[in-house]
Structure 1
Amino acid sequence: MIPVLTVAGSDSSGGAGIQADLKTFAALGTYGMSCICALTAQNTKGVTMVVNTPVDMVKAQLEAVFDDIPPRAVKTGMLSSAPIVETVADFLSSHGKVPLVVDPVMVATSGAVLLEEEAIQSYKEKLIPLSTLITPNIPEAEVLSGLSIQNEEDMKKAALALMDLGPSAVLVKGGHSVEDARDILYDGREFHVFSGRRISTENTHGTGCTLSSAIAASMARGLSLTEAVGEAKKYMEGAIRRAAVDSVGHGHGPVHHFWFYGENWGHME
């Protein structure tokens, strides 16, 4: 089995966060492990309460995992406070180099703010410099880069600006764009454009968590960064397409993580 670790917050409705990550890992043939950094009370309609995990417990979870089952890739999601970001960054920096995908979660699909203001600087100074890839959506890229993003050229400028923070690569996701659902990857040498079909649906809960987890799982399985992003993009498109017709909840429903099971197993066309 191929172990992959998610370091993120829990979503009680199962559509985002730790639960979405573990579903994605399983769907893509890897063994999921978790370090829970926050408990959230939420559903498809919104977030009603957030409780951060004590930093000692965050560190203890990381130590337990790495002591017994060192992951082949790590992804981080909701790390809502500066002390948690710093604890995670300090631990990862002292435990070897494994692919690290950082999803700088700031706002939930429902609009709830999930990142304390003080944590943004900790992301910039401590965690992002360790990352193999960061995966901000357009609003997150604007906050981190200080730039306004209106089109594909602006996405590229933001990616270059974010490289100054020290990651090995940047993927600016275009789901919030008024154009098509294209994502821009800058790998430190060149840009790669991943186009997609915009699917008319409100069932997009957990898309960011799911995409970053799919990239981490694919890299753990040995794919290159560009290949991993391409495979994750295909997986994500199928998950959204299926969720558009097969949903749960009364708000922004989750994507369908196991959309290609059954007779479609192994085929993501």
Structure 2
Amino acid sequence: MPQNPAVPVVLTLSGNDPSGGAGIQADIETLASMGCHCAPVITALTVQDTSAVHTFSAVSADLVLAQARAVLEDMPVAAFKLGMLGSLENVEAAHELLSAYPDTPVVLDPVATAGGGGGLGGEAVLEAIRKLLLPLTTVLTPNSPEARALAPRGATLDECARELLAHGCGYVLVTGTHEETDQVENRLYTGGDLLETFFWERLGGSYHGSGCTLASAIAGLLAVGLEPFTAVHEAQEYAWEALRQGYRIGRGQYLPNRLFWARDEEEAPAPATLQ
């Protein structure tokens, strides 16, 4: 097995989104953009478009574990990124995997609902995430509704973040796209305190797969050796630019243009949109 691979490997556990906006495809495109190799483990099959999730079926925990172990026994994994898990059994499977690699950074996007609407996990899944996964997480990336769902006792987002840190997370980045602020305010916490507030121009429209993009970018940057604060900062810059150059090719939300760097923006034609 190579000791110093030229391309860091990030193993991702996520659902498959046939619209290509979120989930595994978001992981693959983002991690390629970070200079990483994505090893995708499918946790759920979804029926969704750019407007909503219509239904989903979780992959069995045994098959999730088999997929992941095939990779882990074959190549060195520099980071884990977790998205939609889809069932209590898959949360337990993720815990089993991560517990065996305590020194490998973990980025957890605690997907509870899809960007266009639709529940992706019940209270049992949320409780299992709190107890089993948060203690193993390096960077947790909830949006504000997810932070409130995971830490329901918190009266403010600051209190929610501190409650999540108390479960054992290293860092919590609460994103503020759902809040009614002039600018998007993303707040990074560690050690029980607010470390930094990042301000971003609020873009028009809504986006499908923005959370997956941000979490995968952080995982990729951790995999290439950045420390968490720098990884979080640079990942936000990448995600914001992917949204700024996003496109609307379906009837619902915009999709992030995660490969914006591959084209000259001034020369590239405007993306096709539906009116």
Normalization by structure 2: what TM-score? Answer: 0.90
After superposition, the C-alpha distances for 1:3-56 in whole angstroms (9 at most, x for unaligned) are 111111110111000111111001121111111100011111222221110111
CA shift for structure 1 position 140: 0.7
Match among 177, 185, 188 for residue 175 of structure 1? 177
Quick one: which amino acid aligns to residue 261 of structure 2? Answer: F
Tell me, yes or no, if structure 1 residue 185 matches structure 2 residue 191: no
Structure 1 match to 2:252: 251
Q: What residue in structure 1 maps to residue 60 of structure 2?
A: 54
Alpha carbons 2:205, 2:254 under 8 Å: kept: no
Q: After the TM superposition, which segments of 4 or more aligned residues of structure 1 sit over 3 Å from their partners?
A: none
Q: CA deviation at 1:108?
A: 0.3
Partner of 2:231: 228
Q: What is the letter of the counterpart of residue 48 of structure 1?
A: H
**Matched residue of 1:199: which SS?**
coil
The one-letter amino acid of 1:195's match is F
**Displacement of 1:143:** 1.1
Say which SS state the counterpart of residue 126 (structure 2) adopts.
helix
| 1:139 has 2:138 as partner | no
Residue-by-residue CA offset, 1:180-225 (whole Å, 9 max, x unaligned): 21111112265111110100123x1001111000000011111111
Q: Aligned-pair distance for 1:156?
A: 2.3
The equivalences for 1:51-90 within 5 A come to 51-90=57-96
Deviations 1:159-182 (A, max 9, x none): 112111111111111111111211
Q: How many residues align?
A: 257
- Cα deviations across residues 122-165 of structure 1 (Å, max 9, x unaligned)? 1011011100011111111111111466xxxx332221121111
User: In the alignment, which residue of structure 1 is the partner of 2:4?
Assistant: none
Is the CA contact (8 Å cut-off) linking 2:109 and 2:142 kept in structure 1? yes
1:118 and 2:133 matched: no
Identity, % of aligned positions: 38
Q: Which runs of 5+ in 2 are unaligned?
A: 1-6, 266-275
Kindly indicate whether residue 23 of structure 2 is the aligned counterpart of residue 21 of structure 1. Answer: no
Gaps spanning 5+ residues in structure 1: where?
265-269
Q: Alignment partner for residue 163 of structure 1, among 162, 165, 172?
A: 165
Separation in 1 of the partners of 2:222 and 2:102?
16
**1:238 equivalent in alignment to 2:244:** no
> 1:267 maps to what in 2?
none
- CA displacement, residues 205-263 of structure 1 (integer Å, 9 cap, x when unaligned): 001111000000011111111111111111111111111xx321110121111112234
Give the structure 2 partner of residue 41 of structure 1. Answer: 47
Q: Superposition RMSD on alpha carbons, in Å?
A: 1.4
Deviation at 1:95, TM superposition (A): 2.8
Cα distance between partner residues in 1 of 2:25 and 2:190? 29
Indicate conservation of the 8 Å contact 1:155/1:184, yes or no: no
The amino acid of 1:164's aligned partner reads: A
| Partners of 2:154 and 2:118 in 1: CA distance | 21
TM-score of the pair, normalised by structure 1: 0.92
- Among 215, 218, 234, the alignment partner of 1:215 is 218
